[in-house]
């Protein structure tokens, strides 16, 4: 089972990696510094030993001798830090005392008075110092060379001991820092845990805003976004509930009419009366069919509804011409002049062809319904620098200015029109326009007569 990722674990992981790298780099640097100081201390001790031996150089019967007390010799051979090896040679490199097979100073012996170097002696790695000491000052008898060496094992052990004493506290501090981060992140995330418990305990009907006062400042933008989402979700649910209530109310009347007409037809003994009732039944059925189709269209046009066709780049003028052609028979039946006018350039927009045809159908249907016989309805497509405008103009009675905004509400109808309808056409138009990021407006027609419904779409590049 895959382990769940948490913010606390991620912070610990992100901090542990750099801390481990820094700890490693610090260990390497500290080890180099410790080794330098240990070498410096041991080199000084070697030099002091060589100086002590140099102080014991004497001329005895015109021969160079080193008068080392037995106690000093034993100390050199068995001191606490390890055995010391020494070699004393005369001015002509003749052997005086010490270890005859001890390696000589490499290179030019007269370069420096004191020199350090690393070498091997009897299969062991050693660190040596060479020192030149005059036999007898101001006598011109030359100088003896004193070499003192020791194994490097003691130096390495001392460096390791020092670095161990430095690294272990650093490791403990890193562990403590990790624990402090673990605890601190837990305390910092406590408000989020409280918020989580509050959300878990909420009812699915409770869409009130979440409190943001007790949350950290970094989390408050997330809380505001969630509150905004809850507000929009509440508005969408309220709209759906109103839609369902309105739809139920609107469907109740035609369904009751269908039932009544059916019952009357069953009671009529004469065939002529039955046929009259059936014609009324057919009319009621057509009204209800139109209402149901418009309700379905409105549901498809609402934000978040699943689209039957994907959004694509299309020519709005071509869509408008096709939709206008389909409504010509209906216009001719009412003796209305239905025309189409478009510019020369292509009217490219990003949209859904099915929804755009549904929008045009509702605009043209409204224009034909509310225009008197012998009137005119014109569909236009105009291309601007940034927008493509689709308009449907009629010379009917028009819509009062105070009513032009309300007619976009669902099931709202202007009083006194004496035209059958359910008040959903312009609501569908607005929903489809919003889903295409378009603006829909109503205005008076030419000369203040009739109505112009204009939908402005963003122009597709």
pLDDT in tens, 373-393: 888 999 999 888 888 899 999
Listed ranges 110-119, 295-304, 407-416; the one with the highest mean pLDDT: 110-119
DSSP codes joined into one string, 327-388 = THHHHHHTT-EEEEEE-SS--EEEE-HHHHHHHHHHHHHHHHHHSPTT-EEEEEEEE-SSEE
pLDDT in tens, 236-270: 777 677 666 666 655 666 666 667 767 766 677 76
Do residues 250 and 131 both lie within one domain?
no
Q: Give the integer Cα–Cα distance in Å for 230 and 198.
A: 15
Same domain, 445 and 323: yes
Average pLDDT over residues 322-339: 89
- Whether residues 147 and 70 fall in one domain: yes
User: At 230, which CATH number?
Assistant: 1.10.287.130
111 pLDDT above the threshold of 50:
no
Does residue 182 sit within a domain?
no
- Residue 38 within a domain: yes
Q: What is the average pLDDT across 290-314?
A: 63
What dihedral angle (degrees, nearest 10) is formed by the CA atoms of 301, 306, 311, 315?
-40
Q: Which residue among 134, 160, 186 closes a domain?
A: 160
Question: Looking at residue 138, what DSSP letter applies?
Answer: T
**What's the CATH number where 372 sits?**
3.30.565.10
Are residues 226 and 142 part of one domain?
no
The verdict on 355 and 399 lying in the same domain is yes
Q: What's the CATH code of the domain at 12?
A: 3.30.450
Q: Give domain status of residue 193, yes or no.
A: no
Same domain, 392 and 292: no
Task: For residues 90 and 227, state if they share a domain.
Answer: no
209 falls within a domain: no
CA angle 449, 356, 453 (to 5 degrees): 15
Are 358 and 253 in a shared domain? no
Co-location of 320 and 425 in the same domain = yes
Domain membership flag for residue 167: no
Share of residues in the chain with pLDDT > 90 (%): 2
- pLDDT reported for residue 300: 59
Judge whether 186 lies within some domain: no
| pLDDT value of residue 139 | 57
Would you say residue 330 lies in a domain? yes
Same domain for 410 and 291, yes or no, is no
Collapsing DSSP to helix, strand or coil, 439 comes out as: strand
Residues 449 and 346 in one domain: yes
For residues 144 and 275, membership in a common domain is answered with: no
Q: Over 50: is that where the pLDDT of 220 sits?
A: yes
Q: Flag the least confident range among 74-83, 225-234, 250-259, 314-323.
A: 74-83
The residue out of 135, 160, 185 marking a domain boundary is 160
Question: 421-451: per-residue pLDDT in tens?
Answer: 566 778 888 888 888 888 988 888 877 888 8
Minimum mean pLDDT range among 38-47, 94-103, 303-312, 316-325: 303-312
Q: What is the mean pLDDT of residues 100-114?
A: 72
Q: Looking at residue 455, what is its pLDDT?
A: 92
The answer to whether the CB of 144 falls within 8 A of the CB of 133 is yes
How far, in Å, CA of 269 to CA of 266, rounded? 8
Residue where a domain terminates, one of 273, 301, 329:
301
Rounded to the nearest 10 degrees, how much is the dihedral formed by the CA atoms of 24, 25, 27, 30?
180
Higher pLDDT, 345 or 162: 162
pLDDT at position 454 is 92
Residue 230 lies in a domain: yes
CB contact set of 453 (below 8 Å; sequence gap of 6+): 363, 366, 367, 391, 392, 393, 426, 429, 440, 441, 442
Q: Please say if the pLDDT value at position 113 is more than 60.
A: yes
What is the four-CA torsion angle of 371, 372, 376, 382, rounded to 10 degrees? Answer: -10
Boundaries of domain holding 367: 312-458
**Counts for the chain of helices (H) and strands (E), in that order:** 10, 14
Is the pLDDT confidence value at 134 over 70? yes
The tally of domains found in the chain comes to 3
More confident residue, 460 or 339: 339
Round to whole Å and give the CA distance between 175 and 177: 5
pLDDT tens digits along 159-168? 888 888 888 8
Given its phi and psi angles, is residue 140 left (phi above 0), alpha (psi -120 to 50 degrees) or beta? left
């Amino acid at each position: 089972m895959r382990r769940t990722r948490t913010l606390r674990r991620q912070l610990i992981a992100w901090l542990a990696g750099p801390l481990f790298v820094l700890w490693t780099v610090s260990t390497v640097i500290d080890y180099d510094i410790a080794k330098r100081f240990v070498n410096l201390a041991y080199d000084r001790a070697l030099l002091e030993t060589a100086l002590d031996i140099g102080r014991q150089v004497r001329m005895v019967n015109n021969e160079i001798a080193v008068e080392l007390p037995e106690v000093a010799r034993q100390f050199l051979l068995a001191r606490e830090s390890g055995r010391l090896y020494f070699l004393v040679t005369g001015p002509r490199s003749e052997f005086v005392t010490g270890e005859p097979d001890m390696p000589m100073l490499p290179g030019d012996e007269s370069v420096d008075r004191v020199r350090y170097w690393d070498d091997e002696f009897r299969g062991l790695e050693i660190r040596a110092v060479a020192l030149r000491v005059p036999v007898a000052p101001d006598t011109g008898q030359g100088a003896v060379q004193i070499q003192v060496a020791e194994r490097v094992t003691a130096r390495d052990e001392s460096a390791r001991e020092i670095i161990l004493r430095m690294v272990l506290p650093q490791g403990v501090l890193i562990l403590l820092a990790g624990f402090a981060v673990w605890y601190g992140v837990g305390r910092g995330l406590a408000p989020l845990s409280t918020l989580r418990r509050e959300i878990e305990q909420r009812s699915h009907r409770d869409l009130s805003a979440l409190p943001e006062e007790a949350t950290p400042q970094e989390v408050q933008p997330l809380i505001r976004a969630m509150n905004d989402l809850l507000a929009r979700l509440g508005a969408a649910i309220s709209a759906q509930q109103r839609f369902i209530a309105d739809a139920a109310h609107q469907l109740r009347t035609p369904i009751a009419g269908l039932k009544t007409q059916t019952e009357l037809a069953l009671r009529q003994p004469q065939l002529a009366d039955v046929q009259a009732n059936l014609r009324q039944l057919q009319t009621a059925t057509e009204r209800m069919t139109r209402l149901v189709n418009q309700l379905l269209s409105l549901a498809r046009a609402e934000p978040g509804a699943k689209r039957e066709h994907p959004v694509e780049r299309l020519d709005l003028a071509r869509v408008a011409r096709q939709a206008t052609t389909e409504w010509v028979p209906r216009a001719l039946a009412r003796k209305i002049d239905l025309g189409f006018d478009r510019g020369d350039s292509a009217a490219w927009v990003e949209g859904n062809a099915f929804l755009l045809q549904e929008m045009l159908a509702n605009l043209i249907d409204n224009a034909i319904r509310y225009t008197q016989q012998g009137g005119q309805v014109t569909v236009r497509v105009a291309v601007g620098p940034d927008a493509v405008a689709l308009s449907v103009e009629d010379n009917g009675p028009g819509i009062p200015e105070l009513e032009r905004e309300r007619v976009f509400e669902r099931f709202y109808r202007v009083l006194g029109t004496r035209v059958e309808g359910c008040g959903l056409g312009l609501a569908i138009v607005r929903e489809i326009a919003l889903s295409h990021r378009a603006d829909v407006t109503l205005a008076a027609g030419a000369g203040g007569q009739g109505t112009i419904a204009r939908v402005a779409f963003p122009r597709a590049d």
